[in-house]
Amino acid sequence: MIERSVTEPIKELGIYDDLKRAMGHKGITHITGLTDSVRPVFSYALSRNEEKSLRLFITYDEVRAREIMDICSLFGREVYYFPPRDIVFYQADLSGNLLIQRRMQVIKALNEWDTSYERRSEDLTVVTTFDALMEKMVPMRLISDSIITFRAGDTLDLEKTAGRLADLGYERESEAEEAGKFAIRGGILDIYPLTEENPVRIELWGDEIESIREYDAMSQRSVEQLKEAVIYPATDFITDQDARLGAKVKIEEEGKKLSGKLRKAMRTEAAYRLQTHVDEICESLVWHTAVNLSPFIGYLYEQTDTLLDYFGRTDAYIFIDEPARCEEKGHLVENEWAESCVHRIEGGYMMPKEAEVICDTKSVFGRLMGTRAVSLSMINLHHEDHSYEKEFSVSSRSIGSYNKSFEELVKDLKRYRKNGSRVIILSPSHTRARKLTDDLNELDINVFYSEEGRELEPGEIMVSYGNLSQGFEFPDIGFAVISEADIFGGKVRKRRKKYSGYEGTKIASLTDLKVGDYVVHEDHGIGIYRGITHIEIGGITRAYARIEYGGGSFVNVIASNLDSLQKYADRESEKRIKLNKLGGGEWKKTKTRVRHAVDGIAKQLAELYAERSAGKGYVYGKDTVWQREFEEMFPYEETDDQLKAIEDVKADMESGRIMDRLICGDVGFGKTEVAIRAAFKAVQEGKQVAVLVPTTILAEQHMQTFTQRMSSYPVHIEMLSRFRTPAQIKKTIASLKNGSLDIVIGTHRLLSKDVAFKDLGLLVVDEEQRFGVTHKERIKELRKDVDVITLTATPIPRTLHMSLSGIRDMSLLTEAPQDRMPIQTFVMEYSDEMVREAISRELARGGQVYYVYNRVNDIADVTARLQSMMPDAVIAYAHGQMQERQLENIMVDFIAGDIDVLVSTTIIETGLDIPNVNTIIVHDSERMGLSQLYQLRGRVGRSSRVAYAFLMYRRNLMLKETAEKRLSAIKEFTDLGSGYRIAMKDLEIRGAGNVLGAEQSGHMAEVGYDLYCKMLDRAVKRERGIEEHGDFSTYLDMDIDALIPETYVRNENIKLDLYKRIAAISSEEEASDMADELTDRFGKVPAGTRNLIDIALLRSRAHRLFIENMKVTEKEISMYIYKNATIDPTRIAPLLESFGGRMRFVTTGRPAFIYSVTDEERTGDGDTISLTSGVLDRMGMLIE
């Protein structure tokens, strides 16, 4: 930390001591003359104590709040942002969890600061915007009183605790996979607190807490033991039953009066709407189903707090950034809310008291004047709502940009040193900081590099690691801080990366399989899943999955063989699915046809891979200093997937073979950066790079990205597309031929015959599947002996990735970037009022809007209606039936900012990255699938602003269900965390088709995705010469209890998932791991479930011995051998002999080994399993 180096000189200012004294008195002390970047630094200097300090920074908008947070991060890690609630859209049924999560993290930090001196490990800084101070909030003492602490040894009533957690805003689920959820399974309570990185698992012995563990949400496995768990509410708006019932009475009375008045005024529609609104609120209050009760704070609490009250109990330093702009922000929020409320109250959408959720600007400043606050600005402006106790002026100025002129920097540094000034140069890259130090020392500027920093002597210049968007100078004390952005331009901001201590893997999941869904059985074909059934025969109970086939016939698939069952399609599937008939030859023919196709594609891919591997490619050298420097200038923290992909690409380039790598990841997951680094590496060795994209718009975007990233280096980049003039195109082609052009980015124009390269080293193809057949052929020619990187935004499933490993190099980017601005998601009924407000708000902040309307026939009418609502906005529409050129022109105008609102079908360009579009409104969202909503929502939220997604549904459709059912029906649209996995499914199948070709998509549809992957996996292994144990399944039936009891795992979906995973066990290690997981998640493993695991392990061993069918009864063990088994016939006789006459070999019909069980051997489940295991051990001699 370089805190002392930066803040100590500020204490030398003549007014510093007077300022400190003034801060000891109540009232606002005002300081002018401070630039944007110096204000947070100056505040730190004023509030540095021997003891730890608590600070509240108040600013005018979220973008500025983030800038302040970045500067504050120079001085400590405990820097939080407290976001304001969005009061205008409070009526949404559901909104995103992240906002509440961030608020609760601040509340937790404040509560711990206030109650526990020992927990103050370092300074605590909270940054917020002025409108957050205007909100009326639940009294802090209620939140403090509601915190639950669990300790080992305490007694616990599970049902009472479940009720308490529900009151605190937690939702009960079968698994606590996401923040704000809890689950109870037997004597285990799982809670995922909003304030913690990981969920906690509390295990009981009777009613006493036996252990508390932190666990990984994805794998559901424990990570570490804890002494206690402190659970904060899952909402900052907690209520109890008494408060809710009291509010219900008040709302009913007021609603009755108001709707009566409206009826008298003959406004029956508004009266009906208001009464419906009141009924829904009251139902929610009784059943505690409403997610958002904040508008009713006036009915629920006599007294309320504001955020300032939350700081009021502590000796906090309060700083107001640009008070005039904060005041302006306050008035803007007030006016917007007042205008919105007038429309809503008149229309019967809300009651007058619901408008009383904020304090006015004047009263907030009145409260601030009663604290010891400091306001900071550049110039002094007149204020209506507040006055200052004391005013001071400081002389500071920003460092002017050097525009990459090193000479100007050197000149200034010499002047500073001559004047005896102290200078700190900050760089966000350790490598660049050291290189800068070396470069300056070579030019006789005496500078030194320090990580920690120290107080500087006059005339000293220090280079250090740190991130500042703009430098500053205090001329009066001879002190300056220069940021790297001042020297080289551009903002650099590294993300703070969350670290998860446990790398869990998500359960390979069939949990989305529901009764009625279509399934594929490897031997019987497509049927309908009818649920898990337990069948008891002769006192022995076993679990089966019941599958219905054509003609009304059924098959019961024993639980130990569930891995032969795959999901095919949802029961709501739009296409008609034909069921296979049992015993018919149709399924066999289908499988054979698909197997031939799969063998063909595997052979083709393997040959292609072998051909490229055999070819001699250019061998690149190891990374240069420039490469390391260039990579460190990437303004974000790379994800693990990204780093792995970069590593793989470089390894390919540095090897002797020709690279052919597919990089797959959603828009914004960092594919382009991987390609940029490879391109930079190639250019350094004199090679040319071609980047091929399917559309002109994408070419434009790539051109901007590449140019921006390489602006500090002598790399020549040009573009070939229809946006270029003939003269420019001619010049670019000539530069490619003579080698003066390093990187060319272009559409299919790049594939023309007149385009030739002097020395092409790397070809980057973006979304290859979108090129036509002719273009694909030309790409094939181009890629013959050059390194190729193919980028795709359609997700490729990990299973397919695994199947193709060894014959197709792939890198998957599945990890979303950490610090992308959250998308505030609102699910709400359609209303013109809401649409008008959502669009107005986005346009008011200079942004643009996507309006998704998915019906081409009346899209023009919808656009016209929007235009009449928003006469000043520029609104256009686009759909897939337009001519390509016309559509492209509209998109170009939209990107250029000439169109404010684009009404579009779901064809919104998938690869496009338009940072200025931060609101998306989806009309009739209930008609869309989860994956569509997920993709659409991802089109916004690509900048430093908060993005909004409004998923609108038609009220009359939803009103038929109760409030609770309605919420659960659309909840998945907002909880895109868990829904994400299901949403990806159909996208992945599309992605698989892109990798393997359209023809293979058809084959995939015939047998189902999972079975197709299984068949492909086998085919690839055969091509690679990896020994496979034949294309057959092993069935094992054993006369012992084998099931997961209802009392052990109650949730049907989780149980099915466990059955399937147990059936797939193939080693002792996996069996042991499954037993550990079951114990961890559900408690002690019952005997029947333990048997299930043992049977799965025996079945796996039997498969390796070519046993196709195995039946274990109390009298004998029958083992039927696979017809193509590769066993040694000469060993059969010695095997039979070793069993002393108790084993016989039957050759009539299907060959089988039958072992007769003796009376002594028939004494219990454990003995049956160990006896069968012993028999299989000896059978091993047949294949040794």
pLDDT digits (tens, 9 = 90+) for 819-831: 556 677 787 888 8
- Phi/psi at 944 (5° precision): -85, 5
* Model pLDDT, residue 678: 96
What would the 3-class secondary structure string for 264-293 be?
HCCCHHHHHHHHHHHHHHHHHHHHCCCCCC
- pLDDT bracket for residue 873 (50, 70, 90): very high
CB within 8 Å of 435: residues ≥ 6 apart: 625, 629
Alpha-carbon span 231 to 199, nearest angstrom = 10
Alpha-carbon span 855 to 922, nearest angstrom = 12
**Residues linked to residue 878 through DSSP beta bridges, in sequence order:** 904
Name the pairing type of β-strands 27-32 and 1107-1112. Answer: unpaired
Alpha-carbon span 2 to 454, nearest angstrom = 7
DSSP assignment of 880-917, as one string? Answer: TTS-HHHHHHHHHHHHTT--SEEEE-TT--TT---TTE
Residue 59 pLDDT exceeds 70? yes
Residue 962 pLDDT exceeds 60? no
- pLDDT bracket for residue 969 (50, 70, 90): very low
Q: What is the pTM of this model?
A: 0.77
Q: Is 1051 exposed, middle or buried (0-12, 13-18, 19+ CB in 10 A)?
A: middle
pLDDT digits (tens, 9 = 90+) for 630-639: 888 887 778 8
CB within 8 Å of 86: residues ≥ 6 apart: 95, 99, 824
- pLDDT bracket for residue 980 (50, 70, 90): very low
Residue 795 pLDDT exceeds 80? no
Name the pairing type of β-strands 525-537 and 518-521. Answer: antiparallel
* Model pLDDT, residue 964: 38
Residue 228 pLDDT exceeds 80? yes
Query: Do 305 and 140 touch, CB atoms closer than 8 A?
Result: yes
Residue at 1018: amino acid letter: R
Angle CA(885)–CA(914)–CA(949) in degrees, nearest 5? Answer: 110
Q: How far is CA 404 from the centre of its chain?
A: 36
Residue 799 pLDDT exceeds 70? no
Which is higher by pLDDT, 73 or 683?
683
- Phi/psi at 783 (5° precision): -85, 0
Residue 911 pLDDT exceeds 80? no
* Model pLDDT, residue 998: 64
- Phi/psi at 690 (5° precision): -115, 130
Mean pLDDT throughout 124-147?
94
* Model pLDDT, residue 389: 84
Mean pLDDT throughout 184-189?
90
Q: Which helix (H) or strand (E) holds 308?
A: helix 307-312
Q: How far is CA 335 from the centre of its chain?
A: 35
DSSP type of residue 534: E
Mean pLDDT throughout 1086-1112?
94
Alpha-carbon span 130 to 306, nearest angstrom = 12
pLDDT digits (tens, 9 = 90+) for 686-705: 999 999 998 888 888 899 88
| Residue 554, both tokens | 């059924």
- pLDDT bracket for residue 682 (50, 70, 90): very high
Residue 119 pLDDT exceeds 60? no
Mean pLDDT throughout 746-753?
89
Residue at 272: amino acid letter: Y
pLDDT digits (tens, 9 = 90+) for 912-938: 678 889 999 999 887 776 656 766 777
Residue 960 pLDDT exceeds 60? no
* Model pLDDT, residue 95: 56
Angle CA(82)–CA(971)–CA(1082) in degrees, nearest 5? Answer: 95
Mean pLDDT throughout 46-63?
87
Residue at 993: amino acid letter: G
Residue 415 pLDDT exceeds 50? yes
Mean pLDDT throughout 718-734?
90
* Model pLDDT, residue 982: 44
Per-residue b/e over 118-154, b at no fewer than 16 CB within 10 Å?
eeeeebbbbbbbbbbbbbbbbebebbeebeeebebee
Q: CA dihedral defined by 363, 369, 373, 377, rounded to 10 degrees?
A: 80
Mean pLDDT throughout 106-120?
79
Residue 1173 pLDDT exceeds 90? yes
**Residues linked to residue 903 through DSSP beta bridges, in sequence order:** 851, 877
DSSP assignment of 342-382, as one string? Answer: HHHHHHTSS-GGGGTTB--HHHHHHHHHTSEEEEE-SS---
* Model pLDDT, residue 742: 96
Q: Is 498 exposed, middle or buried (0-12, 13-18, 19+ CB in 10 A)?
A: exposed
Could you give the residue ranges of the DSSP H alpha helices within 615-670?
625-632, 640-654
**Residues linked to residue 728 through DSSP beta bridges, in sequence order:** none
Residue 508 pLDDT exceeds 60? no
CB within 8 Å of 265: residues ≥ 6 apart: none
* Model pLDDT, residue 1116: 93
| Residue 886, both tokens | 């016309």
- Mean pLDDT across the chain: 84
Least confident of 683-697, 1139-1153, 1157-1171: 1157-1171
Q: Is 1055 exposed, middle or buried (0-12, 13-18, 19+ CB in 10 A)?
A: buried
Alpha-carbon span 730 to 1049, nearest angstrom = 70
* Model pLDDT, residue 566: 81
| Residue 442, both tokens | 């070579």
* Model pLDDT, residue 569: 67
* Model pLDDT, residue 966: 37
Angle CA(774)–CA(778)–CA(782) in degrees, nearest 5? Answer: 165
* Model pLDDT, residue 957: 54
Residue 1170 pLDDT exceeds 70? yes
Residue 738 pLDDT exceeds 50? yes
Angle CA(408)–CA(412)–CA(413) in degrees, nearest 5? Answer: 115
Helix %, strand %, coil % of the chain (to 5): 45, 20, 35
Residue 507 pLDDT exceeds 50? no
pLDDT digits (tens, 9 = 90+) for 1042-1070: 999 988 988 887 888 899 889 989 899 99
Shortest CA distance to 726 belongs to which of 754, 702, 763?
A: 754
Could you give the residue ranges of the DSSP H alpha helices within 79-157?
98-115, 130-134, 140-146
Q: Helices 268-287 and 241-264 meet at what angle, rounded to 10?
A: 170
Which residue in the block uniquely carries the two structure tokens 């109990």? 313
* Model pLDDT, residue 510: 45
Percent of the chain whose pLDDT exceeds 70: 88
Residue 986 pLDDT exceeds 70? no
- pLDDT bracket for residue 963 (50, 70, 90): very low
| Residue 1141, both tokens | 């006459």
* Model pLDDT, residue 775: 80
Residue at 455: amino acid letter: E
Say whether 390 sits in a helix, a strand or coil: strand
Which is higher by pLDDT, 1184 or 1081?
1081
DSSP type of residue 754: T
Mean pLDDT throughout 179-197?
92
Cα maximum dimension of the chain: 107
Residue 961 pLDDT exceeds 60? no
* Model pLDDT, residue 1118: 96
Mean pLDDT throughout 443-472?
88
Least confident of 321-335, 549-563, 795-809, 1012-1026: 795-809
Shortest CA distance to 1124 belongs to which of 1037, 1028, 1035, 1036?
A: 1028
* Model pLDDT, residue 517: 83
| Residue 785, both tokens | 């002996």
Query: Do 658 and 787 touch, CB atoms closer than 8 A?
Result: yes
Per-residue b/e over 20-56, b at no fewer than 16 CB within 10 Å?
eebbeeebbbbbbbbbbbbbbbbbbbbbbeeeebbbb
What CA–CA distances, in Å, run from 496 to 265, 677, 818? 58, 22, 8
* Model pLDDT, residue 454: 85
CB within 8 Å of 261: residues ≥ 6 apart: none
Least confident of 29-43, 263-277, 541-555, 1016-1030: 1016-1030
Mean pLDDT throughout 621-650?
88
